Amino acid sequence: MFVHGFQEEVGDLWQETLRHPFVHSLADGTLEKEAFYYYLLQDDYYLSHFEKVIEKSVEQAGTAELAAEMREVQVRLQQSELLMREQFYPRVGLTERDFSERKPAPTAYHYTSHLYRMADFGSFGVTIAALLPCYALYADMGKMYETARSSEPFYQELLDSYVDENYQKVVLRQKRLVEQAASMADARELALMKQAFQISVEMEWAFFDMAYKKQNWRGSVNYV
């Protein structure tokens, strides 16, 4: 199994990411509210670009069947996670002004840049390999903390969304697509798929660390 092999090579980091203080404190309810709001704002930025990279994968799909599969993935993302977030934000107190004034943190900027760079290779397999850790890590996070029962209801609600049966099915489907692409890849493309996957895992850890520390640019960056 190619995906298992990719994940096995980053096994320690995978587990470290799932046990990052941000995730652990989200699960037990002790996460600082400002860090949670910061995470949601940065994650919204990330997801807006994540969806655009899915669009690129639709264009790269070599068959009508694969293109249809990725379009369905995009629709599921829009109807589940993106819609849930859109309804979730005002309930936790985030306003339109918060989003209009938000600037991407360095890690959010670099992670999305990585996804675009992988998509620019023009390979369906490389693109979906870069996208997979976001799905798969959150699915594992949902299962790992399923019985944690956070003392903060909003934190628990977020964790519950990742153990949801429909979300778990989408992740399995994405893994199957990566397996299929890897089985048809030559040695160079397979190496690029593995690299794309591994860098995304590194960036997932960095994203949680970014939120936990409320990371910002050290200099003057006039992001527009």
26: phi then psi, degrees, rounded to nearest 5:
-65, -40
Residue 222 has pLDDT above 90, yes or no: no
Residue 61 DSSP SS3: coil
Q: Does residue 145 have a pLDDT over 80? A: yes
| pLDDT tens figures, 12-69 | 999 999 999 999 999 999 999 999 999 999 999 999 999 899 999 999 998 888 888 8
Q: Please state which of the ranges 99-108, 163-172, 178-187 shows the lowest mean pLDDT.
A: 163-172
What tokens appear for 41 in the block? 């704002």
Residue of 5, 77, 36, 22 lying closest to 206 (CA atoms): 22
- Average of per-residue pLDDT values in the chain: 90
pLDDT in tens, 75-108: 776 666 666 777 888 899 999 999 999 999 999 9
- Asked if residue 4 has pLDDT above 80, the reply is no
Cα–Cα distance, 46 to 8 (Å, whole number)? 26
